[in-house]
Structure 1
Amino acid sequence: MGALGAELRRLAESYGVATSYRPAPDRTVEASATAVTLALAALGVDAADPAAALAARERDLRARLLPPTVVCWSGSPPDFLEGLPAGTRLRITTEQGETRAAADQLPPGVHHLTAAAPDGRTGQAHLIVAPARLPAPPGRSYGLLVQLYSLLSQRSWGMGDLGDLGELTAWAGRALGAGFVQVNPLHAAVPGAPTDPSPYRPSSRRFPDPVHLRIEDIPEYAQVGDRARLDGLVERAERLRAAVLEKGALIDRDAVWELKREALELLREFPLGPGRRAAYADYLAAEGQALEDHATWCALAEVHGSDWSRWPAGLRDPRSPETARARADVMDRVDFHSFLAWLTESQLTAAQRAAREAGMPVGVVHDLAVGVHPGGADAWAQQDHFAAGISVGAPPDAFNARGQDWGLPPWRPDRLAESGYAPYRGLLRGLFRYAGALRIDHVMGLFRLWWVPQGHPPTEGTYVRYDAEAMLAVLVLEASRAGAVVIGEDLGTVEPGVREELRERGVLGTSVLWFERDWEGDGRPLPPERWRADCLATATTHDLPPTAARLTGEHVELRDSLGLLTRPLAEEQAEAAADTGEWLEVLARLGLLHGTGGSASSEEAQIQAVHRFLLHTPSRMVGVWLPDAVGDRRPQNLPGTWDQYPNWRLPIADGEGRPVTLEELAAAPRLHALMEVLRSG
Structure 2
Amino acid sequence: MASSLIDHLVEYRGIESNYTDAWGKAATIDPNTKQKLLGVMGYDVDDAEKLQVQADEDVKTSWLNPLNPVQVLRTGDTIQLALRLPIELVNDQYLIRIMTEQGDNLSHALTPVDEQLINVIHIDGIEFQEYLIDLPFGLPLGYHELALTIDDDEIANMRLIMAPKSCYKPKTIIDGNKIWGLSVQLYCLRSEHNWGVGDFSDLAYLLEKAAKQGAQFVGLNPIHALYPANPDACSPYGPSSRRWLNFIYIDVTALDGYQSAATQHIVDDANFQRELASARANELVDYPAVTRLKLQALSAIFEYQNSQYLNKNTKLNKAFKAFVEEGGESLQTLAVYDALQENLAAQGKPSWGWPVFPAEFSDFQKPAVARFIKKNATRVKFFLWLQWQAALQLAAANEVAAANNMCIGLYRDLAVGVSEGSAEIWGNKDLYCTNASVGAPPDVLGPLGQNWGLPPMDPEKLYQQRYQPIIDLFSANMQATGALRIDHVMALLRLWWVVKGDSAKQGGYVYYPVDDLLAILALESHKNQSLVIGEDLGTVPEEIRDKLADNGVYSYRVFFFEQAKDGGFYSPGHYPTQSMSTLTTHDMPTLTGYWHCYDLELGKELGLYPTEEILQELFVSRHENKQAILDTLHAHKSVGDEIGIDVNYVGMSTALNFGMQKHMAGGSSELLSLQLEDWLQMDKPVNIPGTFKEYPNWQRKLTRNLQGIFDDPMLNELALSLTEARKNAST
TM-score by length of 1: 0.91
Q: Does 1:497 align with 2:543?
A: yes
What are the residue-to-residue correspondences of 1:186-225 with 2, within 5 Å? 186-191=223-228, 195-225=232-262
Q: Does 1:160 align with 2:198?
A: yes
Indicate how the Cα distance of structure 1 residues 317 and 336 shifts in structure 2: closer, same or farther if over 3 A, else same. same
Equivalent residue, structure 2, for 1:625:
675
Indicate how the Cα distance of structure 1 residues 632 and 230 shifts in structure 2: closer, same or farther if over 3 A, else same. same
Equivalent residue, structure 1, for 2:509:
463
Corresponding residue SS for 2:442:
coil
Deviation at 1:57, TM superposition (A): 4.5
Equivalent residue, structure 1, for 2:322:
282
Q: Is the Cα contact below 8 Å between 2:168 and 2:522 reproduced in 1?
A: no
Corresponding residue SS for 1:222:
coil
What are the residue-to-residue correspondences of 1:573-588 with 2, within 5 Å? 573-588=619-634
Equivalent residue, structure 2, for 1:558:
602
Give the partner amino acid of 1:647. N
Unaligned runs of 5+ in 1: 654-659
- Report Cα offsets for 1:131-155 as digits up to 9, x if no partner: 1112324322100011111111010
What are the residue-to-residue correspondences of 1:465-480 with 2, within 5 Å? 465-480=511-526
Matches of 2:215 and 2:533, distance apart in 1: 17
Q: Does 1:374 align with 2:420?
A: yes
Equivalent residue, structure 2, for 1:647:
697
Give the partner amino acid of 2:327. E
Within the candidate set 582, 596, 604, 1:538 is matched to: 582
- Report Cα offsets for 1:166-195 as digits up to 9, x if no partner: 110011112x11100011111111245551
Equivalent residue, structure 2, for 1:172:
210
Q: Does 1:92 align with 2:90?
A: no
Equivalent residue, structure 2, for 1:608:
658
Deviation at 1:514, TM superposition (A): 0.5
What are the residue-to-residue correspondences of 1:304-323 with 2, within 5 Å? 304=344, 305-323=351-369
Q: Is the Cα contact below 8 Å between 1:596 and 1:604 reproduced in 2?
A: no
Q: Does 1:389 align with 2:435?
A: yes
Give the partner amino acid of 2:332. E
Equivalent residue, structure 2, for 1:298:
338
Equivalent residue, structure 1, for 2:7:
9
Matches of 1:28 and 1:91, distance apart in 2: 49
Q: Is the Cα contact below 8 Å between 2:572 and 2:669 reproduced in 1?
A: no
Deviation at 1:637, TM superposition (A): 0.6
Deviation at 1:583, TM superposition (A): 1.3
Equivalent residue, structure 2, for 1:657:
none
Indicate how the Cα distance of structure 1 residues 453 and 555 shifts in structure 2: closer, same or farther if over 3 A, else same. closer
Q: Does 1:40 align with 2:38?
A: yes
Q: Is the Cα contact below 8 Å between 1:163 and 1:214 reproduced in 2?
A: yes
Q: Does 1:637 align with 2:673?
A: no
Corresponding residue SS for 1:586:
helix
Q: Does 1:126 align with 2:159?
A: yes
Q: Is the Cα contact below 8 Å between 1:432 and 1:484 reproduced in 2?
A: yes
Equivalent residue, structure 2, for 1:670:
714
Q: Is the Cα contact below 8 Å between 2:222 and 2:237 reproduced in 1?
A: yes
Equivalent residue, structure 1, for 2:289:
255
Matches of 1:352 and 1:680, distance apart in 2: 25
Matches of 1:471 and 1:329, distance apart in 2: 40
Q: Which is worse superposed, 424-433 or 4-13? A: 4-13
Deviation at 1:58, TM superposition (A): 5.0
- Report Cα offsets for 1:564-593 as digits up to 9, x if no partner: 344356553332121011011011011111
Within the candidate set 473, 485, 490, 2:531 is matched to: 485
Deviation at 1:459, TM superposition (A): 3.0
Q: Is the Cα contact below 8 Å between 2:79 and 2:138 reproduced in 1?
A: no
Matches of 1:673 and 1:182, distance apart in 2: 21
Corresponding residue SS for 2:452:
strand
Within the candidate set 492, 497, 501, 1:446 is matched to: 492
Q: Is the Cα contact below 8 Å between 1:191 and 1:306 reproduced in 2?
A: no
Equivalent residue, structure 2, for 1:107:
140
Matches of 2:538 and 2:342, distance apart in 1: 39
- Report Cα offsets for 1:587-612 as digits up to 9, x if no partner: 10111113679999662222222222
Matches of 1:598 and 1:586, distance apart in 2: 13
Corresponding residue SS for 1:92:
strand
- Report Cα offsets for 1:275-319 as digits up to 9, x if no partner: 322211211121122211111111111122231122222222212
Equivalent residue, structure 1, for 2:131:
none
Give the partner amino acid of 1:418. Q
Matches of 2:618 and 2:505, distance apart in 1: 26
Matches of 1:515 and 1:438, distance apart in 2: 22
Q: Is the Cα contact below 8 Å between 2:67 and 2:82 reproduced in 1?
A: no
Corresponding residue SS for 2:701:
coil
Give the partner amino acid of 2:278. L
Indicate how the Cα distance of structure 1 residues 438 and 292 shifts in structure 2: closer, same or farther if over 3 A, else same. same
Give the partner amino acid of 1:74. T
- Report Cα offsets for 1:306-345 as digits up to 9, x if no partner: 3112222222221222211111111111001001010011
Give the partner amino acid of 1:91. R
- Report Cα offsets for 1:397-448 as digits up to 9, x if no partner: 4554432211111111112111211122222222222222111111111111
Q: Is the Cα contact below 8 Å between 1:71 and 1:80 reproduced in 2?
A: no
Corresponding residue SS for 1:624:
strand
Q: Which is worse superposed, 481-490 or 94-103? A: 94-103
Q: Does 1:68 align with 2:69?
A: yes
Give the partner amino acid of 2:214. G
Q: Is the Cα contact below 8 Å between 1:630 and 1:668 reproduced in 2?
A: no
Equivalent residue, structure 2, for 1:264:
298
Give the partner amino acid of 2:14. G
Give the partner amino acid of 2:294. K
Give the partner amino acid of 1:255. A
Matches of 2:627 and 2:27, distance apart in 1: 36
Give the partner amino acid of 2:144. H
Corresponding residue SS for 2:380:
helix
Deviation at 1:89, TM superposition (A): 6.4
Deviation at 1:496, TM superposition (A): 2.4
Deviation at 1:235, TM superposition (A): 2.5
Matches of 1:597 and 1:575, distance apart in 2: 21
Matches of 1:546 and 1:34, distance apart in 2: 40
Equivalent residue, structure 2, for 1:341:
387
**Percent identity of equivalent pairs:** 32
Corresponding residue SS for 2:98:
strand
Matches of 2:655 and 2:81, distance apart in 1: 56
Equivalent residue, structure 1, for 2:124:
none
Equivalent residue, structure 1, for 2:729:
none
Give the partner amino acid of 1:67. N
Matches of 1:341 and 1:122, distance apart in 2: 39
Matches of 2:438 and 2:637, distance apart in 1: 45
Unaligned runs of 5+ in 2: 108-134, 345-350, 726-731
